[in-house]
A and B are shown apart, each in its own frame.
Chain A
Amino acid sequence: MRICVLVKQVPATDKVKMDEKTGTMIRTEMEAELNPLDMYAVEEAVRVKERLGGNARITVISMGPLMAVDAVKDAISMGCDEGYLLSDKLLAGSDTWATAYALSGAIRYLGGFDLIFCGERATDGETGQVGPSVASWLNIPALTYVSKIERLEERYIRVRRAVEGGYEVVETELPVLLSVVKEINEPRLPNLAGKLRAKEMQIPVLTVDDLNLNRSFVGLEGSPTRVVKIFYPKLSRNGKIISGKNPEEAVDELISFLESKGIL
């Protein structure tokens, strides 16, 4: 079975810097990490491979600046077999439509896969759109919000999808793209051997021309959406703080507060 995992490198959350002119993230001078929600995708891929006992190979693909090679290596250290980085100046500024187009190009270039895993969403853009969009570009079914793989056969899969108010049991054909939620597993920590293997591995870099992508579909120019304004919401509310009162008084005040807000 040929398995692929799509992983993204994201800024370590509290330290995001934005270019307010172009509405893009300044990805060069910041601390970055493998998107935490993609670790569940990697883990699930590795578990599937372990169950299949050697009859599977896992390829990690990421798109991003050259430093994103670290995200690919993190995934390899958890048990993936090989990795590719899709990196090209022409790709900078891609929105979800253009990112999914480029990723689907890489998937085609590598000969296609039976199972493609991705995370529920990236913690930076937080759209969760790239996965279903990749499936659409490849014209294969997308199973989103997967919380459990119940059965996997050579040509078909049955999963649970976590949806509003419960879960759904769904079956479909392979090849398929799955976006997984956090409930699905507990990602492992890479062991020393895994880390060493990742460190030594060569990660080929693929470009727009390697993949024969249409240049007018990639990067900021190829993206249908444009960030026109960035602003920082003020979190602080300057609320009332009750301190040094006994519990009875505090509860009285709380109840009248809830009444004044129309909650009681």
Chain B
Amino acid sequence: MIGKEVFKGVWTLGEQRDGEISSVSYELLSWGRELADKLNVELSSVIIGYGLKEKVKELIYRGADKVYVVDHPSLVHFKPDVYSRILEALVKEFSPEIFIASATTMGRTIMPILATRIGTGLTADCTGLDIEPETGLLLQTRPAIGGNVMATIKTPKHKPQMATVRPRSRKPLSKDTSRKGEVIVKEYPEEFYLSKFKILDFVKDETSQTPLQEADIVVAGGKGLKGERNFRLIHELAQLLGGAVGASRSAVDMGWISYPHQVGLSGKTVAPKLYFAIGISGAVQHLAGMSSSETIVAINSDPEANIFKVCDLGIVGDLFEIVPLLIERLREYKEGKKNG
């Protein structure tokens, strides 16, 4: 981009669905606040949608100094062409030095389009962001090649420095209703809102109550379960713990559970507080999708199983004995808590 302009400030991209601000927006503000404080600049959040004007104060309570809102009936749904047109206009008008978004399906779609239009770099799916003290540049750290390698990436000559950040890699800041900030409502000419996209429907996935990547707890089963019927143990345990159900590739390949539950290199990457691996050997491709979980518990009958190398607690034993007992004990435990 043009070298003469002064680029200043940290921006985060807020997300909404049906006019409700998504929690990833607050997680990003937690990252953004730290960067903005290190640089001693303002933190702003941009949010595009409809019916948001009353709700955007929440972004200030969660860390933003400024909020740019673009609110229009045609912006209810994510339309990559319109959203990128608006973001491009905003970036060109206000010249932030850093712009981060969540590595959600929206962030991963809109940010490459925007970076290309503006002519700047973009680092994908970061799990670490920092400021280099000598240069003030953004240090973007991310896993690649199935989690086998971590890379730190800089965008030395282009602005804004852009990155997507892995969801759930940070907790939102706690809400502080005494925080003051500025809300700027931007309007654009009607032709800005014309889109080549028509969103016809949204269908909820009934099988996964908590989307796998957003769950605090993931209970995952593998080939060791030996059959589709036994997979109900995984579902039951997940339900008791309030978690989502995951699976290794072989369990998916056998048809015991559907592909959206697959964790690993060719499935989803998760980093929950607790990852419970049951009857999973721990092939590198699976580890690639879960090894950055906070706590890992494994149950496997093979003491040599690879999964034991990455777990915090491992039980060598027969899952068909241990899991039913665990389910029973957890039920009692919950009852006990309820009854004081």
Question: Do A and B originate from a single complex?
Answer: yes
A251 and B329 in contact, given A168-B199, A172-B196 (Cβ under 8 angstroms): yes
B293-331, CB < 8 A from A: 295-297, 303, 308-318, 321-322, 325-326, 329-330
Contact call B113/A132, Cβ cutoff below 8 A: yes
Q: Which stretch (A52-60, A66-74, A236-244) binds chain B?
A: A236-244
Q: Scan residues 131-180 of chain A and give those whose CB is less than 8 A from a CB of chain B.
A: 131-133, 135-137, 141-142, 144-145, 158, 161-173
Residues of A within 8 A of B205 (CB): 165-167
* A170-B199 in contact given A235-B309, A247-B317 (Cβ < 8 Å): yes
- Find residues 76-112 in chain B having any chain A CB closer than 8 Å to their own CB: 77, 80-81, 84, 104-106, 108-112
**Cβ contact of A228, chosen from B116, B152, B303, B310, cutoff 8 A:** B152
Interface of B is mostly: mixed
Q: How far is the CB of B205 from chain A (nearest CB, A)?
A: 5
For the complex, what is the distance from the CA of A165 to the CA of B104, rounded to whole Å? 11
0/1 per residue, B108-142, Cβ < 8 Å to A?
11111101110111111100000000000001000
How many residue pairs, one in A and one in B, have C-beta atoms under 8 Å apart?
Answer: 254
Q: Does B74 belong to the interface (CB within 8 Å)?
A: no
Stretch from B6-14, B53-61, B181-189, B209-217 forming part of the interface with A: B209-217
Instruction: Please list the 10 inter-chain residue pairs (A to B) with the smallest Cβ-Cβ separation, ordered nearest first.
Output: A224-B121, A127-B124, A225-B121, A136-B116, A243-B316, A229-B152, A132-B112, A129-B112, A169-B201, A239-B312
CA distance A37 to B285 in the complex (A): 14
Q: How far is the CA of A231 from the CA of B139 in the complex (A)?
A: 14
**Residues from chain B with Cβ under 8 Å of A248 in the complex:** 325
Cβ contacts under 8 Å, B116 to chain A: 97, 100, 132-133, 136-137
What is the CA–CA distance of A11 and B149 in the complex, to the nearest angstrom? 13
Q: Which residues of chain B are near A228, meaning CB under 8 Å? A: 139, 152-154
Cα distance A233–B124 in the bound complex, in angstroms: 18
Closest CB-CB distance, B246 to chain A, in whole Å?
15
Chain A residues with Cβ under 8 A from B318's Cβ? Answer: 247
**Is A263 an interface position by the 8 A CB rule?**
yes
Q: How far is the CA of A245 from the CA of B303 in the complex (A)?
A: 13
CB neighbours of A172 from chain B (8 A): 196-198
- Are B310 and A240 closer than 8 Å at their CB atoms? no
Q: Which residues of A contact B285 (CB under 8 A)?
A: 13
Contact with B along A168-203 (1 / 0, CB 8 A): 111111000000001100000000000000000000
A225–B316 contact, CB under 8 A?
no
Q: Which residues of the other chain, A, contact B266 by a CB distance below 8 angstroms?
A: 36-37, 123, 182
Given contacts A240-B314, A261-B274, contact A247 B322 (CB under 8 A): yes
Interface members, chain B 264-311 (any A CB < 8 Å):
265-267, 273-274, 284-285, 287, 291-292, 295-297, 303, 308-311
* A96 adjacent to B198 (CB under 8 Å): no
Across the interface, A237 reaches (CB within 8 A) one of B203, B213, B312, namely B312
Which of B65-73, B155-163, B222-230 lies on the face that meets chain A?
A: B155-163
Cross-chain contact of B148 among A145, A224, A232, A264 (Cβ < 8 A): A232
**A140 to B, closest residue via Cβ:** B196
B155 to chain A, nearest CB (A): 5
CA distance A13 to B259 in the complex (A): 21
A109 at the interface (CB under 8 A from B): no
Whether the pair A144, B108 counts as a contact (CB closer than 8 A) is yes
Q: Is A26 an interface residue (CB 8 A)?
A: no
Q: Is A251 a contact of B326 with CB atoms below 8 Å?
A: yes
B59 CB, nearest partner CB in chain A, Å:
20
Nearest to A173 among chain B residues (CB) is B196
Known: A124-B144, A133-B115. A169 touches B203 (CB 8 A): yes
A255 in the interface (beta carbon within 8 A): yes
Minimal beta-carbon separation of B78 from chain A (angstroms): 8
Q: Does A110 count as interface, using CB distance less than 8 angstroms? A: no
Alpha-carbon distance between A227 and B204 when the two chains are bound, in angstroms:
39
How many Å lie between the Cα of A29 and that of B183 in the bound state?
Answer: 55
**CB pair A263 B155 closer than 8 Å:** no
Which among A13, A170, A183, A247 is the interface contact of B146 at CB below 8 angstroms? A13
Q: Of residues 155 to 195 in B, which have CB atoms within 8 Å of A's CB atoms?
A: 155-158
Q: Closest Cβ of chain B: how far from A194's Cβ, in Å?
A: 23
Asked if A65 is at the interface (CB within 8 A of a chain B CB), the reply is: no
